[in-house]
A and B are shown apart, each in its own frame.
Chain A
């Protein structure tokens, strides 16, 4: 039997938890850093937004708990729980501010700076003492209201908040792109987007527009789909062709419109997508967790560097177009070379062994021992850019060769190279997934012993997984080198491998669109948002844990994984799993 005092306790606990999270966000400096960026100009900064978000989500969670205690819906009870959770959050934050004015937290926590408290106390004064609880109640009630709204309204509104928030985050980009256009568009840009966030009118316009479109869509989407199905086959194909052509046009024109910065971001996203597609073969298809994946990236990069550089370490001076396939082949061989010894190792031991390999490669490449070949800590510099056309003669060291034709000098040109490679590799991966080899990989992932009994050659199949994964990563490394124009062993850190693992996990293991979604979300977002990039690894860590807890199949799962994960919900050791009902005693 659930009683009311129990609900009170749940609400207070939720509030305390979200308050602790809010204080945590303050202490790691996130609130202060984020407050430099607006969500809505002059009204709410990103820092305020995340603090507010903790209280609102406390309201949502408390309201959900309240609705679960009884069978029938009792809005008043939910509202009470939400308000209580909200006010607890607010009181806790206020207590934190009060405490920090008594003792000096700065001597331990670097981020508990005067400017943070200046911000939190609304530039001095004492009004914050009652402001925080009041805002907390309001936010908690807002969360509860959101929860209580019928599905028909809740979905459009949450969607609208989310999209408006995204628009606000990227408003600087939209503004820069649009202001360079004709005067009408520039005026519109200034009306909607401020320097670092949306203007008030922009926010309202986006919010209302998304709500309207979303409600219209949920009412009409069925009709539209049926309408599309009713069009004759030929018409459908031509519509698809038109959509495809439009997409291609956008992809082709994008770097011309957006400028080098965005082009560079897209190049980096494509390179990570390339690596992600490679690791997706070894991890996603064959189930072999490789934490030393950066080694293959390094091999590709160093091969291209050694073969094309006009610096002192350049062995050959062949064009990129010849060097890149060689780099892919060399990485493939290296994949086999690293794959051979670890063939017999499974599971988590494999992860650690490959991590060791990755670190060995980095340490050797950066050591004085191999410096005569790989440049050691100084790295390899002066890498010849790719050139469509004839390349001038190599004259002497440190003089770039002249390109007669189109030179892929900057991110704007390399964009095409990277995007084309990513599309090509995605296509290859898609075909591989449905091939006999792809099925063999998945069989190995599910159960090695059974797969072997079914006549799959483990050695050959696993080696191919390593080799193909390495090939994709090598291609990524090759393009990365020409983008940057130099290679340093210090850029081949473990963190790159972790990045790639994280983007696969977030996108969905074994799913090719998932890899691309993951690359955009985990690599593109932090590259675009300077404020966020400081905390990107914190986000990655949190994202990995939360994905494992809540959605192990990823944001965009492959159908097969989805079926598996929801089929075997009960694990073998489930009887030791903690009993959740133990709290009910209180």
Chain B
């Protein structure tokens, strides 16, 4: 093939630009870290706080990311409405928690109360996800790729504003649990109880999901369908049922995450799904989309980087109020991962062809 000089120059410019972009980000991170550590502005305890917060936040992202990753693994489709399904779980948990607090159940049996509110949140989000799948996604299976994505964007906004219509634009205060106030001391370091409980609950959920996918018959069928739909169908697997199950499982995880998120931030609103949704997608891509352990790792990495990052990279570079740029760090990670390693940390399959 003949390429003109101008075309080669353009190619060169493109790769030069990309390399410049990489080097710039690495420079910022390295320089910022170096300066911060030399300045010693933060104590060790503060760093531990950042990391613990990052882990608890990251485990929530990981839970949401599981839904993205499983659906992508099977349908090769970004479920853009997944963030809204997460939000619906938070609302479900809110109503049941308020009711349980009102009748005094929550104070007597805090563990059961938490489990009930998570179960109810999961129920609501699963129902909504099944509806969305039935109405907005199933008829479009096999259409050109852009079509289900646009439908998913539509579903996302439809759900957001449906919840706004149901519950109004205001912010609901999630009831506080007395059992979760204060700190627990570990080796002389105080850590907020909520964060520990959130992380533990999230890890338990992930373990449940992982064992469903790895050790049950339906999990085996799910893995088979994500490997190859046609061959799986030939082996006698009801592909439609497996797809529905996948949506339901992912939504249940997102619903649990919604309740945990509400527990951390103490507020529920129709708009809370958007940012965690995008971040969880980042986590899914970070770990390698379609890869279940990858989503968990990706969520934790994202949570920790986002929580430690502003203090570590940005503070000593003279940026005022670096925490305003917390979300920007997550988005930059998203763009960087999509640009430079679309297969993610643990992924090997899906590439630029997406």
Contacts and interface: CB of A to CB of B under 8 A. Distances in A.
Q: Do A and B come from one complex?
A: yes
Given A347-B146, A571-B143, A541 B154 contact: yes
Interface string A366-393: 1111010000000000000000000000
B18 A341 contact: yes
Contacts of A552: 143, 147
Nearest to A349: B354
A548 B153 CA distance: 11
A30 B165 contact: yes
A573 B141 contact: yes
A255 B17 CA distance: 48
Q: Among the interface residues A346, A357, A548, A577, which one has the most CB atoms of the partner chain B within 10 A?
A: A548
Given A459-B14, A577-B141, A498 B165 contact: no
* Chain B interface extent, by class: 35 or more
Contact of B161 (A110, A340, A535): A535
Given A348-B354, A552-B143, A541 B155 contact: yes
B136 interface: yes
Nearest to B91: A108
B161 A360 contact: no
Interface residues of A, number: 64
Interface string A538-556: 1011111100110010000
A403 interface: no
A28 B95 CA distance: 17
Nearest to B318: A369
Contacts of A345: 338-339, 342, 352, 354
Interface stretch (B43-51, B249-257, B260-268, B326-334): B326-334
Contact of A341 (B10, B21, B150, B274): B21
Given A109-B167, A352-B338, A459-B11, A549 B319 contact: no
Interface in B299-326: 319-322, 324-325
B81 to A, nearest CB: 9
B165 A29 contact: yes
A369 B77 contact: no
A459 B9 CA distance: 11
A571 B143 CA distance: 6
A576 B77 contact: no
Nearest to A108: B95
A351, A355, A576 interface centre (most CB from chain B within 10 Å):
A576
Given A353-B334, A549-B139, A367 B352 contact: no
A49 interface: no
A287 B145 CA distance: 11
A340 B335 CA distance: 13
Interface string A160-176: 00000000000000000
A5 interface: no
Contacts of B17: 340-341
B188 to A, nearest CB: 35
Given A340-B17, A348-B145, A109 B154 contact: no
Contacts of A340: 14, 17-18
Contact of B278 (A355, A544, A574): A355
Contacts of A575: 230, 233
B103 to A, nearest CB: 13
B151 A549 contact: yes
A356 B154 contact: no
B10 A459 contact: yes
Contacts of A505: 150
B158 interface: yes
B314 to A, nearest CB: 8
A499 B140 CA distance: 22
A541 B166 contact: no
B149 interface: yes
Interface in A332-352: 340-349, 351-352
A457 interface: yes
A545 B142 contact: no
A124 interface: no
Contacts of A29: 165
B229 A349 contact: no
A313 B148 CA distance: 44
B240 interface: yes
Contacts of A371: 320
A349 B332 CA distance: 14
Given A360-B335, A537-B157, A544 B95 contact: no
B317 to A, nearest CB: 9
B353 A346 contact: yes
Contact of B142 (A27, A349, A360, A576): A576
Contact of B166 (A111, A343, A457, A573): A111
Contact of B146 (A287, A342, A344): A287
B7 interface: yes
B165 A28 contact: yes
B291 interface: no
B78 A572 contact: no
A28 B162 contact: yes
Contacts of A357: 331, 335
Nearest to A568: B144
Contact of A346 (B142, B144, B282, B352): B352
Nearest to A353: B338
Contacts of B144: 571
B153 A544 contact: yes
Given A345-B352, A369-B319, A549-B139, A538 B161 contact: yes
A368 B320 contact: yes
A363 interface: yes
Contact of B335 (A348, A353, A366, A501): A353
Nearest to A291: B153
A459 B342 CA distance: 19
Nearest to A572: B142
A578 interface: yes
A27 B151 contact: no
A545 B135 contact: yes
B338 A540 contact: no
Interface in A162-220: none
A126 interface: no
B154 A289 contact: no
A540 B319 contact: no
B70 interface: no
B182 interface: no
A544 B165 contact: no
B160 interface: yes
Contact of B78 (A352, A368, A494): A352
Nearest to A33: B165
Interface in B1-38: 7, 10-11, 14, 17-18, 21
Contacts of B148: 548
Instruction: Determine which residue in B157, B274, B282, B339 has the highest number of CB atoms from chain A within 10 A of its CB, and name it.
Output: B157
Contacts of B334: 352-353, 356
Given A538-B161, A540-B157, A544-B150, A368 B321 contact: yes
Given A363-B327, A459-B7, A548-B151, 8 more contacts: A24-B162, A27-B166, A110-B167, A341-B21, A352-B285, A368-B324, A538-B165, A577-B141
30 contacts: A108-B167, A109-B167, A110-B167, A110-B168, A341-B17, A348-B78, A349-B338, A351-B78, A356-B282, A356-B335, A357-B331, A359-B331, A360-B328, A360-B335, A364-B325, A369-B322, A460-B10, A498-B157, A535-B165, A538-B165, A541-B156, A544-B154, A545-B154, A545-B155, A548-B136, A549-B136, A572-B142, A576-B142, A576-B229, A578-B138
Interface of B: 7, 10-11, 14, 17-18, 21, 77-78, 95, 135-136, 138-151, 153-162, 165-168, 229-230, 233, 239-240, 274, 278, 281-282, 285, 319-322, 324-325, 327-328, 331-332, 334-335, 338-339, 342, 352-354
Counting from the closest, the 8 A-B pairs by CB-CB distance are: A544-B154, A28-B165, A541-B158, A571-B142, A541-B157, A573-B142, A538-B161, A548-B151
